[in-house]
């Protein structure tokens, strides 16, 4: 009996502390190091999907560009992350009203919807800057081939002026792009995974690595440039840890307690009354 009581007390304590942790784990802060590091990123932007400049999440990519350019960057995002892409454009001192837009595409160059955030914004004439923001959907580990859900892999950001006057064409602007993710935890878990993240050119790179692994040293064939190279700092998958462990463990513990309670309710205490004493 004493052991049971001890056990139940321990379980209860664990259960309580774990339930306290569970919601916190579910909506945890941006990935570690995202904002604490100095976050200086590349200082250039690409001009097409093929030449997109890569940056890590948490870094700030800057570039000096011209109004009318199509600027491309790419960053990696892994399972369970909900990336937010922010861009700010410092406009020239004098200019007409212009509309700027950010579009986000996944590794298959499919346009990804923004849940919220000002994806398109019009700067009034002579406004100093434009701020744009796009909050993507949560990146899932797997989706049906017919779905357009965000999957782990490379994400392209395209920033451009979509509405401008000919007089403003080619004027210099300073742009800044950032991507940070919120970890969505176990809520976003799905039963399935991709063999390879949606990184463009991944098949070629694997082939090149295999060739190099053979040790035949035929380096001339291996492409010196790749379409995308970076990986999220925590890897493509969110790892074995998930808030679901806590939920399930606490559920099991509570179920055990409830079981003990139920048992004691019907079993009663001590001997059944029908049994004669001393039998």
Partner 1 sequence: MIRRKWPAAGIGVLLAALTAGLAFPSAAVAGEPTGQDAPQVDLVLDVSGSMRTRDIDGQSRMAAAKQAFNEVLDATPEEVELGIRTLGADYPGDDRKEGCKDTAQLYPVGPLDRTEAKTAVATLSPTGWTPIGPALLEAAGDFKDGNGSKRIVLISDGEDTCAPLDPCEVAREIAARGIGLTIDTLGLVPNAKLSRQLSCIAEATGGTYTSVEHQDELTERVNELVDRAAEPVVTPVATEGAASCAKAPTLESGLYTDREEFGQQRWYRVDVLPGQELRASVSVAADRAVNPDHGVLLRAVTVRDREIVRGEAAGTGRTDVLSTGLRYPKPERDDEDDEPAAETVCLAVTHSFSPGAGVKTTPGLPLELTIDVVEGPGGSSDVASFGLGRGWWLLGTLVLAGFLAGLVWGWLSRWRFAVWRTS
Closest to partner 1 by CB, 124 or 261: 261
* DSSP line for the chain: -HHHHHHHHHHHHHHHHHHHHHHHHHTPPBPTTTTTS--B--S--BSSTTTPEE--TT-EEEEEEETT-EEEEEEEE-TTEEEEEEEEEE--SS---EEEEEEEE-TT--EE--SBS-SEEEEPTT-SEEEEEEEPPPPPS---TT-----SEEEEEEEEEEE--GGGTT-EEEEEEEEEEEE-GGGG--S---SS-B-TTHHHHHHHHHHHHHT---TTSS-S--S-----TT-SS--S--HHHHHHHHHHHHHHHHHHHHHHHHH-SSS-TTSPTT-
Whole-number minimum distance, CB 71 to partner 1, in Å?
9
Whole-number minimum distance, CB 137 to partner 1, in Å?
17
Closest to partner 1 by CB, 55 or 105: 105
Backbone φ/ψ region at 58: left (φ over 0), alpha (ψ -120 to 50), beta: left
109 token code pair: 């160059």
Whole-number minimum distance, CB 50 to partner 1, in Å?
6
Closest to partner 1 by CB, 129 or 193: 193
Whole-number minimum distance, CB 180 to partner 1, in Å?
15
Whole-number minimum distance, CB 124 to partner 1, in Å?
19
Closest to partner 1 by CB, 5 or 50: 50
Whole-number minimum distance, CB 127 to partner 1, in Å?
19
């Amino acid at each position: 009996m004493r052991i049971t009581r001890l056990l139940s007390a321990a379980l209860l304590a664990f259960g309580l502390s774990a339930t306290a942790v569970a919601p916190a784990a579910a909506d945890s802060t941006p990935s570690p190091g995202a904002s604490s590091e100095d976050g200086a990123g590349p200082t250039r932007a690409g001009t097409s999907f093929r030449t997109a400049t890569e940056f890590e999440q948490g870094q700030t990519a800057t570039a000096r560009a011209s109004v009318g350019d199509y600027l491309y960057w790419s960053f990696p995002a892994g399972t369970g992350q909900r990336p937010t892409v922010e861009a700010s454009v410092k406009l020239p001192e004098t200019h007409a009203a212009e509309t700027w837009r950010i579009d986000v595409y996944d590794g298959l160059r499919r346009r990804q919807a923004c849940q919220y955030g000002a994806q398109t914004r019009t700067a009034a004439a002579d406004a100093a800057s434009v701020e744009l923001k796009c909050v993507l959907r949560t990146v899932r580990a797997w989706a049906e081939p017919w779905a357009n859900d965000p999957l782990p892999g490379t994400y392209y950001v395209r920033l451009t002026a979509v509405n401008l006057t000919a007089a403003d064409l080619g004027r210099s602007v300073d742009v800044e792009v950032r991507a940070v993710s919120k970890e969505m935890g176990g809520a976003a878990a799905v039963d399935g995974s991709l063999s390879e993240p949606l990184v463009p050119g991944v098949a070629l790179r694997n082939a090149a690595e295999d060739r190099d692994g053979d040790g035949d040293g035929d380096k001339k064939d291996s492409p010196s440039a790749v379409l995308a190279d970076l990986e999220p700092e925590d890897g493509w998958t969110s790892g074995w840890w998930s808030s679901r462990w806590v939920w399930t463990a606490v559920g099991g513990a509570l179920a055990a307690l409830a079981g003990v309670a139920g048992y004691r309710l019907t079993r009663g205490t001590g001997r059944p009354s029908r049994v004669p004493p001393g039998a």
